[in-house]
Amino acid sequence: MLNVTKEQNGAVLVVKLNGSIEESVDFNQLIGETPKELHVNCRGVPRINSVGVKSWIRYFQAVAAKGVTLKFVECSTAIVEQINLISNFTCGGEVVSIFVPFMCEGCKSELIGMFQVSALKQLKFELPTLKCSKCGGQAVFDDIPEEYFNFLMN
């Protein structure tokens, strides 16, 4: 079940997606008509299945075809996986910021950190360590840079 909250921010419509994107998702009904700029916040999307991917691409392609500027912000790790897997997943939109998986070296907790894409490029994908919220230890990037950041390296 996907919930969408909408917020008009000047000329920009900001939509926040919350929940899994599956068979039942109808983006036309949930988002509908958009102004000339649409920002999609994906931090609340834990999963998207293959049917969900199809409706996602169908909807955002139609939006992009109308000349709407699309930006994807705070993309969850599930969304980043799809961006890497499917070349037209963002339908020409810009990926502004993403969540990145980390693992604590002390207590092995899995954590996520949020990064601006521009900052990641500046860091040349060499991520700083994060402080573990559970034990205070050091958490390090927990994936393969060439895979997780693949969509940014091309």
Q: Which residues bind Zn ion (CB under 5 A)?
A: 104, 106-107, 109, 132, 134-135, 137
Q: Compute the distance between CA of residue 50 and CA of residue 70 in angstroms, rounded to an integer.
A: 22
Residue 20 or 109: the one with the smaller Cβ distance to Zn ion is 109
Least distance from C-beta 128 to Zn ion, angstroms? 16
Q: Give 74's DSSP letter.
A: S
State the nearest-atom distance from the C-beta of 130 to Zn ion, in Å.
10
Interatomic CA distance for residues 106 and 72, integer angstroms: 33
Q: Closer to Zn ion at the Cβ: 121 or 131?
A: 131
Q: How far is the CB of 141 from Zn ion (least distance, A)?
A: 15
Percent helix, strand, coil in the chain, to 5, is: 30, 35, 40
User: Whose Cβ is closer to Zn ion: residue 109's or residue 150's?
Assistant: 109
Q: Which is nearer to Zn ion, 54 or 134 (CB)?
A: 134
For the bound state, the minimum distance from the C-beta of residue 105 to Zn ion, rounded and expressed in Å, comes to: 8
Note whether 89 and 56 are within 8 A (CB). Answer: yes
Q: How far is the CB of 114 from Zn ion (least distance, A)?
A: 18
Nearer Cβ to Zn ion, position 62 or 107? 107
- The helix or strand, by DSSP H or E, that contains position 86, with its residue range, turns out to be none
At 134, is the secondary structure helix, strand, or coil? coil
Question: How far is 131 from 125, CA to CA, in rounded Å?
Answer: 18
AA identity, residue 60: F
